[in-house]
Structure 1
Amino acid sequence: MAHIGRGFPSRPVVTSRPHPLDAVSTLGVFAVGWEFPELTVTTPSVTIGLDVFAIGWEFPPLTVLYDTTIGLGVFSVGWEFPELTVDVPILPGLKITRDGEIEWRGELFSLTNQFTPLADLTGWEDHPGLASGNSEKAQDHGSEPGQDFAEERVVSGVIQLRDDQTFPDSLKRIRRLLTVGRDETEYPLVIRLREETLLAYGKINRRVPTVENVGIGVSDISAQWICSDPGRYSLLESGIHVTTASPGTVSHDGDVDTKPRLRFHGPAVIPRVRVAGRTLAFNVVLAAGEIFNVDCKTGTTIIGVLDYVPLHDFSVPITDFEIPPGDWEIVYDPDSGGDGGMDVFWRDRFM
């Protein structure tokens, strides 16, 4: 028996296989990590600059399917850096480890190698001669006392070359070290006596080798150095940061005045610094971020490419700004600004 009513056709079902599709897909945030090898540089002062370099990576092929969750498999990131070259100055005295050793221009003269210092060093502990500042009295005995200044330091020693195997090479090596320089440049001379290591700067004045025993690989070479600055210095340079709100204390453990290096940080108007009754001031305005370097030993002043900065009217000459032995308060007092403060660097100086 037939039923009366309405009939509904069945809903068709269409299926399709997933198929590749060229599409632009947006990836969520993910991290790429890398690790650089540790870089260690031992130097008094160095700036390392890297050339421009590119970091490249490659991702695995990405296939997108309908109704599919997209996932990235493990992949690696590779890069290549240019070769890193760092040129640093020789740290004077770095090779010295025992009493009696001498280091000249980075070369060690020691019992531990073929260049042995003999026990006849002169001029190192001696007080140099004096250039008297006294003036004769016109109508009386004696003279009027004046400021005395030490003359240049002359250091003499004998280095025994003992090398029966490669004597010609060793002789050329020490001859090259103990020869006249190309210009007025002085080089570090470091000597350790009685556990005290001190530094001076000088030039070779004389080299006299003996020739009697060269057949058995031995020559005693007399050497003489002349140091225009008679002072001898500590190997390490001390330094402090001083602000306008907080004066600093300079502790100079030597026995004669030493000339510091100064570094002023802009902004500052008429940077001025005082220590031990002397004031050094410059007629200059430093912009924010500018660095002003002053070397009181050489008298040089540098701001960027500018290598001359005029003194203020009430300033002492640059080379007269010195730190006496002992502990001294140092005050930074520019006309205005000076929030960045200043740095003071010095070495203990011994006569």
Structure 2
Amino acid sequence: MARLGRGQPIRSRVLRQPYRADAQADLGVLSLQTVFPALDVVTPDVNIPLGVLSLQTVFPALDMAIQQPATIPLGVLSLQVAFPTLDVEVPFVPGSLITMDGEIEWREALWSPLNQFRPQANLEGWDDLPGLSSGNAEKSQDHGSWPGADFSEERYVSATIQLRDDSPTWVDSLRAIRGLLTPGQDETEYPLVIRTRGETLLAWGKIKNRKIASDLIGVGSADIAVQWVCSDPRRYSLDEVGIHVATTGTATNTGDVPTRPRLRFFGPATVPRVHAAGRILAFNITLLAGEVFDVDCRTGDTIVGDVDYVPLYSFSVPIADFELPPGDTNITYAPDSGGAGGVDVFWRHSHL
């Protein structure tokens, strides 16, 4: 080894990259994309596609003071995302506002002893037997008549609602109930729901008459007499029950009179038809795969896609004649061809 001066060796120098006391590491943008499945709401049928969730998160620069090479563990990334409230419009469920005896629900408004619209104890026509249209035929040369089938006439229901609102909102309250008790411009009937002694039943009706006593209006009170007319005299359970029939099934009507069901046929099927209580309901239509055909035996509506009228088959009974009598009823589904998707049958228990 060469020596200089006093014979001290010359040490070799290894040049290293200098350490930085301060450093910043930019992590860039985190982008997540998550596809949510559609929400399936059973009743009513609603699909809400949420689309693609896209998150972009910019990490702040990391400020580090280091003296030597180091590994910096970033730990676990935790994201919290608040979704905005979903605004979903669904049909109003009749009877959903009623919680106690003596309450009346009409056109999505509740009249209750607990609010300013208080039903009084003079409800009439709700539990009464409607008038009967006799099918008897007089005998021309004998006493009495030949017996025939009797049919119930329309039902009339009357009640008195006491408006109590001794406040500046009196006029608003009066106008609100007047608006609910004004006859409509067409044949539309609305759900009338009444609870008496723990039993809540539903009928469809229209306003027939109203009278507003004015003797106590000056002290914030008025008795409002209202009368409804229900073209269908039957009263129904709030809950609609149902079964799926692949080939055969049993429907149970716990009421005391026949009820008219709703039907939902699934394609593919040719001439979809059902047998129940000695009657056949059949339609002259061929359903394609994926098509859904809805029939309402109470209203007579028949809807498939954009088509709102489907003709009956030649041997079918009228839609309104297809009923489920009280008790158990066997139902058979037998289209001409297809029909693997079956038919759904829905009904409400029916009472007079």
Q: Give TM class, smaller chain.
A: 0.7 to 0.9
Q: Which amino acid aligns with 1:169?
A: D
Q: Would the aligned equivalents of 1:57 and 1:78 in 2 still touch at CA under 8 Å? A: no
Q: Quote the Cα distance in structure 1 between the aligned partners of 2:194 and 2:178.
A: 20
- Alignment partner, residue 211 of structure 1: 214
Q: Quote the Cα distance in structure 2 between the aligned partners of 1:136 and 1:231.
A: 28
Q: Would the aligned equivalents of 1:56 and 1:77 in 2 still touch at CA under 8 Å? A: no
Q: Would the aligned equivalents of 1:101 and 1:108 in 2 still touch at CA under 8 Å? A: yes
Structure 1, residues 224-272: CA drift from partner, whole Å, max 9, x if none? 111111110000000110102xx21101011111000000111112212
Q: Which amino acid aligns with 1:262?
A: L
- Alignment partner, residue 108 of structure 1: 110
Alignment of 1:241-260 (within 5 A): 241-244=244-247, 247-260=248-261
| 2:140 pairs with one of 129, 135, 138 | 138
Note the C-alpha offset of 1:140.
2.6
Note the C-alpha offset of 1:283.
2.1
Q: Would the aligned equivalents of 1:283 and 1:309 in 2 still touch at CA under 8 Å? A: yes
Q: Quote the Cα distance in structure 2 between the aligned partners of 1:349 and 1:270.
A: 29
Note the C-alpha offset of 1:59.
7.1
- Alignment partner, residue 161 of structure 1: 163
Alignment of 1:181-260 (within 5 A): 181-244=184-247, 247-260=248-261
Alignment of 1:194-343 (within 5 A): 194-244=197-247, 247-343=248-344
Q: Would the aligned equivalents of 2:271 and 2:282 in 1 still touch at CA under 8 Å? A: yes
Q: Which amino acid aligns with 2:329?
A: W
Note the C-alpha offset of 1:46.
4.0
- Alignment partner, residue 96 of structure 1: 98
Q: Which amino acid aligns with 2:195?
A: R
Q: Which amino acid aligns with 1:45?
A: P
Note the C-alpha offset of 1:104.
0.9
Note the C-alpha offset of 1:174.
1.1
- 1:222 alignment partner, SS class: strand
Q: Would the aligned equivalents of 2:32 and 2:56 in 1 still touch at CA under 8 Å? A: no
Q: Quote the Cα distance in structure 1 between the aligned partners of 2:146 and 2:48.
A: 58
Q: Does 1:172 align with 2:175?
A: yes
After alignment, is 312-321 or 224-233 more displaced? 312-321
Q: Quote the Cα distance in structure 2 between the aligned partners of 1:133 and 1:33.
A: 70
Alpha-carbon spacing, 1:185–1:53, altered in 2? closer, same or farther (3 Å): farther
- Alignment partner, residue 149 of structure 2: 147
Q: Would the aligned equivalents of 1:283 and 1:311 in 2 still touch at CA under 8 Å? A: yes
Q: Would the aligned equivalents of 1:55 and 1:79 in 2 still touch at CA under 8 Å? A: no
Note the C-alpha offset of 1:99.
1.2
Note the C-alpha offset of 1:206.
1.1
Q: Would the aligned equivalents of 2:270 and 2:338 in 1 still touch at CA under 8 Å? A: yes
Q: Would the aligned equivalents of 1:270 and 1:336 in 2 still touch at CA under 8 Å? A: yes
Structure 1: gaps (5+ residues) = 1-14, 18-29, 62-68
- 2:320 alignment partner, SS class: helix
Q: Quote the Cα distance in structure 2 between the aligned partners of 1:40 and 1:174.
A: 37
Alpha-carbon spacing, 1:280–1:95, altered in 2? closer, same or farther (3 Å): same
- Percent of aligned positions with the same letter in both sequences? 59
- Alignment partner, residue 66 of structure 2: none
Note the C-alpha offset of 1:336.
2.0
Structure 1, residues 123-176: CA drift from partner, whole Å, max 9, x if none? 000111012222222333322222221111100111111111232221111111
Alpha-carbon spacing, 1:40–1:94, altered in 2? closer, same or farther (3 Å): farther
After alignment, is 155-164 or 279-288 more displaced? 279-288
Q: Would the aligned equivalents of 2:33 and 2:55 in 1 still touch at CA under 8 Å? A: no
- Alignment partner, residue 22 of structure 2: none
Q: Quote the Cα distance in structure 2 between the aligned partners of 1:176 and 1:299.
A: 29
Q: Would the aligned equivalents of 1:123 and 1:154 in 2 still touch at CA under 8 Å? A: yes
Q: Which amino acid aligns with 1:227?
A: C
Q: Would the aligned equivalents of 1:136 and 1:144 in 2 still touch at CA under 8 Å? A: yes
Q: Quote the Cα distance in structure 2 between the aligned partners of 1:304 and 1:16.
A: 78
Q: Would the aligned equivalents of 1:48 and 1:86 in 2 still touch at CA under 8 Å? A: no
Q: Does 1:45 align with 2:44?
A: yes
Q: Would the aligned equivalents of 2:234 and 2:351 in 1 still touch at CA under 8 Å? A: yes
Structure 1, residues 19-38: CA drift from partner, whole Å, max 9, x if none? xxxxxxxxxxx9958698xx
Q: Which amino acid aligns with 1:210?
A: A
Structure 1, residues 324-350: CA drift from partner, whole Å, max 9, x if none? 000111111112221111100000111
Q: Quote the Cα distance in structure 1 between the aligned partners of 2:301 and 2:85.
A: 35
Note the C-alpha offset of 1:278.
1.0
- Alignment partner, residue 85 of structure 1: 87
Alpha-carbon spacing, 1:297–1:108, altered in 2? closer, same or farther (3 Å): same
Structure 1, residues 261-297: CA drift from partner, whole Å, max 9, x if none? 0001111122121111111112222111111111111
